[in-house]
Amino acid sequence: MANRRLRIIYRSNSHAPLWLVADKSGSWQKNGLDVDTSPQLVREKAVESLKSGHVDLISGNHHNLYVRNANNGEDFVHLAQATNNWTENRLVVTPGIRSVQDLRGKKIVADKLSSHAGLNIWLFLKQEGLDVDRGDVELVELRGSSEERWHRVVDGEFAGTFVTIPHDTRAAKAGAHVITVRAIPMIRGVTLTTTMTFVKNHQDEIRRLTQGFVDAVHFFRTRKREKVETLYEEWAQSLETKPYPSLQAISNVFRLALRRNPEITSYNPLGLWDTHFVRELDDSGYIDRLYQ
């Protein structure tokens, strides 16, 4: 019997390692699937490809679908979540800054401010008592590479920027001071996203995908020798053995959605999630047996 085929696009190149491991480890074949993954970095094109049926699932689209479901009655749904923590929690700063509070009154450089990267920083600073809207700190948008942004900090143009590994060690070698700050709960990275219409018509494929997803995470977490060590450390510390979203991560990502679309404040963010396929697999004992 031929494997069931699924077409998945991922919304960021940072998702690629997990999808590559899933493919090379045989996780899909083991579960009777043939999964075709490819990048689609333009959010609108990814969503339209899903709606048109050109793809079956998206890896990502974390905060922009709440408004579409709330305002338009669309049926997007998240099924499983690989990670629940923000990892750009290394703060590269100029000399003299020793804590987040020392950023008050200074300029922080970030990627696109209306995207996940910039909104995460806005929320983190707000939770730390530095309200961008109140003028406690200024966020400056500079799209491009993390390396360019931390170089601007080293040159003294900005007081700080937030990066992930290995940019923290590279910046430190260039003479920057690096502070590791609190990693806020956040829906990010690989999120299995589709529509309820697709789920209702392809429940067997979704069950196979969920199990293959769990198998891929298990391989990633337990086969360190077969991956680059730095990549392993970043992913293995964050990957959920049981790919449920955390309530705090959902709450925080919904705050990002509200930042852009405050009119959907009455929408219940849990309405975008259907984790019963993960629960079904979890209740069977399959995930616990993997790690015994």
Mean of pLDDT over the chain: 91
* Pair (214, 144) in one structural domain: no
pLDDT tens column, 211-259: 999 999 999 888 876 655 666 666 667 889 999 999 999 999 999 999 9
Structure-derived torsion over alpha carbons of residues 77, 217, 117, 46, reported in degrees to the nearest 10: -40
Please, are residues 55 and 49 in contact by the beta-carbon 8 Å criterion? yes
Total number of domains constituting the chain: 2
- Domain span at residue 270 reads 4-84+186-290
In terms of pTM, does the model score above 0.85? yes
Q: 180, 202, 237: which is the final residue of a domain?
A: 180
Q: 180, 206, 231: which is the final residue of a domain?
A: 180
CATH number for the domain harbouring residue 279: 3.40.190.10
Contact partners, residue 151, CB within 8 Å, separation at least 6: 174
CA distance 36 to 46: 15
* Pair (240, 174) in one structural domain: no
**The predicted structure's pLDDT at residue 234:** 67
* Pair (131, 252) in one structural domain: no
pLDDT classification of 179: cutoffs 50, 70, 90: very high
pLDDT tens column, 85-132: 998 999 999 999 999 999 999 999 999 998 888 999 999 999 999 999
Please, are residues 10 and 58 in contact by the beta-carbon 8 Å criterion? yes
